[in-house]
Amino acid sequence: MVSVYYDLHIHTALSPCANDDMTPNDIVRMALLNGLDMIAVTDHNTFDNAESVVKAAKSVHAQSGKELIVLPGIEVSTAEEVHVLCLFRDIESALKFEAELFPYFSGLSNRIHIFGNQIIYDENDRVTGELERMLIAPASISFDNLYLLVNKHKGAFIPAHIERNSFSLLSNLGFLPPHLDINTLEVSQKSTSNSFYEKNKEIYSKNKIVFSSDAHQLWTISERENFLLLPERNSGAAIDYLR
Interface residues with Zn ion (CB under 5 A) are: 75, 83, 160, 214
Closest contact distance (angstroms) between CB of 224 and Zn ion is: 21
Distance, in Å, from the CA atom of 231 to the CA atom of 89, rounded to the nearest integer, reads 15
Distance, in Å, from the CA atom of 127 to the CA atom of 31, rounded to the nearest integer, reads 21
Closest contact distance (angstroms) between CB of 11 and Zn ion is: 6
Question: Left (φ > 0), alpha (ψ -120 to 50) or beta: where does 85 sit?
Answer: beta
What backbone torsions phi and psi does residue 31 show, to the nearest 5 degrees?
Answer: -60, -40
Closest contact distance (angstroms) between CB of 164 and Zn ion is: 8
CA 118 to centroid of chain Cα atoms: 17
Closest contact distance (angstroms) between CB of 103 and Zn ion is: 22
Other Cβ atoms closer than 10 A to 237:
19
- Which H or E run contains 208? strand 208-212
Between 136 and 238, name the residue whose CB sits nearer to Zn ion: 136
Between 104 and 230, name the residue whose CB sits nearer to Zn ion: 104
Question: Left (φ > 0), alpha (ψ -120 to 50) or beta: where does 29 sit?
Answer: alpha
Closest contact distance (angstroms) between CB of 42 and Zn ion is: 6
Q: Exposed, middle or buried by CB within 10 Å (0-12, 13-18, 19+), for 70? A: buried
Closest contact distance (angstroms) between CB of 215 and Zn ion is: 8
β-strand partners of 77: 83
Q: State the residue number with the nearest CB to Zn ion.
A: 83
